[in-house]
């Protein structure tokens, strides 16, 4: 099993920045995909960004391109999400996700492991 723990959410004004971290522990894998999804009230869990643990390849949802940056530190089993120029529509619970698969899958059903989520609220 893989355990994921997010940290770093909070309240910020529109235009501001927040940084999220995800610590992986347990049966971590050297390859696979890690990433971030988010879920606003009454909405589905949507992809934010993905990163390959082995190649470092990255995928972003169109809604966050140019504003969010995903990165990883394999030695520390960490994944990060730097969020800049935040908008009220970015308000959601942000979840760290991991999969042993090595391809980018853009829907949440493909990810075996999840963190508990961290709230991000952007005020207008």
pLDDT, one tens digit for every residue, the chain (124 residues)? 899 999 999 999 999 999 999 999 987 767 899 999 999 999 999 999 999 999 999 999 999 999 999 999 999 999 999 999 999 999 999 999 999 999 999 999 999 999 999 999 999 9
**What pLDDT shows up at residue 30?**
75
Q: Residue 66, Cα to own-chain centre: how many angstroms?
A: 15
Q: Tokens for 57?
A: 């390849």
Contact yes or no for 104/59 (Cβ under 8 A): yes
Burial 44-54 (b: 16+ CB within 10 A, else e): ebebbbbbbbe
**What pLDDT shows up at residue 11?**
98
Residues 6+ away with beta carbon under 8 Å from 77: 23, 24, 25, 28
**What pLDDT shows up at residue 26?**
87
């Amino acid at each position: 099993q893989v355990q994921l723990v997010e940290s770093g959410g909070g309240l910020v004004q529109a235009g501001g920045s927040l940084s999220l971290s995800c610590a992986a522990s347990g049966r971590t894998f050297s390859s696979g995909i890690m990433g971030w999804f988010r879920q606003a009230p009454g909405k589905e869990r949507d992809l934010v960004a993905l990163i390959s643990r082995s190649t470092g390849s990255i995928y972003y949802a169109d809604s966050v391109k140019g504003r969010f940056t995903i990165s990883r530190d394999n030695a520390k089993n960490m994944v990060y999400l730097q969020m800049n120029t935040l908008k009220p529509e970015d308000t959601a619970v942000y979840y760290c996700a991991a999969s042993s698969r090595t391809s980018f899958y853009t829907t949440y059903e493909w990810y075996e492991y999840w963190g508990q989520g961290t709230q991000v609220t952007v005020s207008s």
